[in-house]
Amino acid sequence: ELKVGQNPPFLSTQEGKNYTIYCNYSTISDRLYWYRQDPGKSLESLFVLLSSGAVKQEGRLMASLDTKARLSTLHITAAVHDLSATYFCAVDTQCSPDATSLYPNLQLVGPLLLQEL
């Protein structure tokens, strides 16, 4: 059974600081995906990582993959409020190419959202 987990499961950020989200999975995988979802909107694909050592960057987000450790990281540099969203990682398995496991509850929260409550 494929298991995918993320750490931390919930993240409250401060503007301008750096953060890392970890995605680990329990089986050998062909590829790893990162997505984001804004409230009320559909999933948006961020990165597809196809091999160990792969690193991709777009704006303030950078993702990397270590297939030996079965770990992917999503780095957020100098967080800004626009990055507030729910982030997902997903993997494909070698034995069932069409089976994807999606871990749904990692959220990056805007910089002052929790501090003002």
In a domain, 102, yes or no: yes
Number of domains within the chain: 1
In a domain, 117, yes or no: no
For position 24, what pLDDT does the model report? 92
For position 55, what pLDDT does the model report? 94
In a domain, 10, yes or no: yes
CA dihedral 5, 91, 72, 37 (to 10 degrees): -80
What averages of pLDDT result for each successive group of 10 residues across the chain (117 residues)? 80 87 86 89 92 92 94 92 87 55 44 29
In a domain, 68, yes or no: yes
In a domain, 116, yes or no: no
> How does strand 44-49 pair with strand 71-76?
unpaired
The boundaries of the domain holding residue 25 are 4-108
CATH of residue 24: 2.60.40.10
For position 60, what pLDDT does the model report? 94
Instruction: Give the global pTM.
Output: 0.76
In a domain, 30, yes or no: yes
In a domain, 19, yes or no: yes
> What DSSP string describes 41-90?
S--EEEEEE-STT-EEEETTEEEEEETTTTEEEEEE-S--GGG-EEEEEE
For position 102, what pLDDT does the model report? 52
